[in-house]
Amino acid sequence: MWISRIKLKNFKSYADAEFCFPEPDGSRNIVLVGAQNGHGKTTLLEAIYLCLYDKDAVGYFKRAGLSSDEVQYPRFLSQALFHEAEVERRGLYCMALELEIMQRRRGQLVGLRINRKWYFSRSREWVNENNSVIAKLITDGEEQPIAEEEIKHYLNDYALPFDYAPYFFFDGEKISQMAKGSVSGAGEWLAAALQGLLGVNLLGRLKDDLKKYRSNLISANASERAVNDLEKAERELSLLENQFAISQELLASALQEKEQLEERFEELTAQLGGGSDIETSKELLQKKEMLLKQREDLRNKVQQAVLSMPIAFIPFESLTSLSKVLTRDLNRLNHEAGREQVSLRVGDFWQSFTESDKVREVLGRSAEVILQDPLMREAVADCWKQLFYPLPENCSDPIQHNYLSKEAIVKIQGEIGRLKAMPPAKISDVLAQIDNIDREEKKLDQHLDLLKITNRDDLVEELKQVRKELDEKANEAGRIEANESRCRVQVERKRQDINRLRAEIEGNNPKLVKSKRANRVESMIDALKTELLKQKNEILGEVATRINRELYTDERIHKIRIVDNGKMVLFGRNGLEFNGALSAGQMQILIMSLVSALAEVTRYQAPFVIDTPLARLDNLRRNNLFKHWAGLSQQVILLSQDAEVTPTVKDSLQNFVCKTYLVKADALSSVGARSKVIEDVYF
């Protein structure tokens, strides 16, 4: 099965465009459609959905990673109309899409062509009643019209049912986030995919039909009282099943919101350098204030100790020498005080300097970069310091008694005859503490400067808010999960009650033999579904493991196991379950492996259409993914940027590429864009 043609008219940035893709031939199964961001890659993927599934497509955009919001059909259509579309017949705008999908079947070339048109008023509002759709079945070139109400049936046979499309047509980057629950949560994405592609949902519908058939037989052949009891129990079961379904939806929603908060928390933590000690400027200033107070207290202790030093511990002949040293220290302190007083104006000078028109004129276009560089400001501060060197005469260098203030030195010189000693070792310990505080203060100042440059305070506050919301959401999810478990038990008990009632009613009644048979078939369906999913889950895990190893190569994920609820369990080489966070690239490779494994296990040979397939991957993993896609039997259409599939990479894939297109967009005066398609060209 392959997409052979796509035509777009007045759809988003495409005024009139056509893509034609050949049948995959041997090893040539890859189609490259290159486009920069905003030039029309995702639009092409949306066109495929809309042309095949019309209204149903909009609800599946989110599952395919095409939209993060619930999209409304009328709003989507009105926004999709090309900005410079021209009015056609009856004064209406027309938007049209056509898609042709072909396959080889029993020696014949068969396919399905769907052409849809939407019309809009002069105010660009969608006019519902004027829609048109033309579908045709193609068999060896002959065309047969298909009634509109039959299109869905032909989609199931000749294309993809819309339930399956998100597993083959998707945004490669965003679907990793959509499917993350398969690793960390309930795994609804994977469970739904596997059940749909295996046809398990059809078995479920058959079971529902058998239940209705059985109920009708019992109603027609049992006593009124028995029927009333059974109907009451069935109504109670229906109510419990609704409550259970609601609890499942609430749990899935809570887990998804929790995962989104976890992702945001990880993003913010990474932006802020990681760690749990991320602080705001306010918190750092409070720390600095505490350090300054501690340093002042320690200096006071040193001064008090020196001032109380006994004269007996200082030889008389040393007093004159000490006085001279203290005089030089005092001169140095006075010099430093003058320097510090002037240094307070450095900030004013810097502001005046950076705001000077003449300075900016001299620096030219590089002015903003130079003046915003912290090293530039540091250099100016260093230059100011150089103005006070060399030191004047009769100044200590270094200060011999740096633990004394000017006032203390004057007091010591006045009271030198009454000095009292303190053990030097104790003073040394206190001085060491002061040095540590000085170093810590310097670190805090550097951190504060960084915060001022990067404006991280807002990010820190957001991180704390996200952390709070994450804790609340985790508690909420826990409560919902407990309620979901209670509902599950209640539903199961009520089903057992109903089965018991039915068995009592049927008894040995010969008129209800068919009902008994229907019951046995229902049980067989349950057993079949359980066994089928068990086997396929095991095979799916093995295939996904093999593909993931081929793509990632380092066997960081040594084994993938799929459990009954669709959740993936990952194991390392040590055989232990891996519960750590996966990088964006690892997650993308994992999901790509899973998607390919689903197609292989279910033998569903639909084409892949992947938008932005390689954005988060390094060259090694990209090349591995190319090799994997080239080895598939089905068509693979890649909608990529030049940074993902470079011209060099494209040349290396020449033997596997069957068609290329380049999409370029020109800006319109109406803010929109016009995309033009160039055939057989790539970047």
Q: Give domain status of residue 360, yes or no.
A: yes
Q: How far apart are the first and last CA of the chain?
A: 28
Quick one: average pLDDT of 266-279? 59
- Any domain includes 54: no
Average pLDDT of every residue of the chain:
80
Using one digit for the tens of pLDDT, what is the confidence trace for 604-630?
888 999 987 676 677 788 888 888 888
- In this predicted structure, which of 71-75, 495-499, 603-607 has the lowest mean pLDDT? 71-75
Nearest CA-CA partner of 600 in 542, 554, 560: 542
- Residues 447, 367: one domain? yes
Same domain, yes or no: 340 and 207 = no
251 C-beta neighbours (distance < 10 Å), count: 22
Domain termination site, one of 413, 432, 461? 461
pLDDT in tens, 76-114: 888 899 988 898 877 899 999 999 999 998 889 999 999
DSSP for residue 25: B
**CB-CB contact of 66 with 45 (8 Å):** yes
Contact between residue 114 and residue 52 where contact means Cβ atoms under 8 Å apart:
yes
Tokens found for residue 310: 């006994």
Q: Are residues 345 and 484 in the same domain?
A: no
| One-character DSSP codes across 91-153 | G-EEEEEEEEEEEEETTEEEEEEEEEEEEE-TT--EEEEEEEEEEEEEETTEEEEE-GGGHHH
Q: Both 324 and 441 in a single domain?
A: yes
Give me the mean pLDDT over the 216-237 stretch: 84
Residue 432 domain boundaries: 281-461
Q: Is the pLDDT of residue 226 over 60?
A: yes
Q: Is the pLDDT reported for residue 193 higher than 60?
A: yes
442 and 302: one domain? yes
Domain-located, residue 307? yes
**Rounded CA separation 320/406 (Å):** 18
Residue 679 maps to a domain? no
pLDDT confidence of residue 185: 46
Do 215 and 287 share a domain, yes or no?
no
Contact predicate 264/465, CB 8 Å: no
Q: Which of 509, 526, 543 is the last residue of a domain?
A: 526
Do 375 and 508 share a domain, yes or no? no
Average pLDDT over every residue of 208-232 = 83
Compute the distance between CA of residue 448 and CA of residue 433 in angstroms, rounded to an integer.
23
Residues 343 and 211 in one domain: no
201: how many CB neighbours lie within 10 A of its CB?
15
- Do 367 and 219 share a structural domain? no
Q: Residue 490: which H helix or E strand, with range?
A: helix 457-506
| Tokens of residue 498, six digits | 């109903």
Residue 660 phi/psi, 5° resolution? Answer: -135, 150
Assigned domain for 25 exists: no
> What is the tens place of the pLDDT at every residue in 421-466?
444 545 667 777 777 877 877 776 666 565 555 555 567 677 778 8
Tally of domains in the chain = 2
> Do 311 and 436 reside in the same domain of the chain?
yes
For the segment 304-311, the average pLDDT, to the nearest whole number, is 54
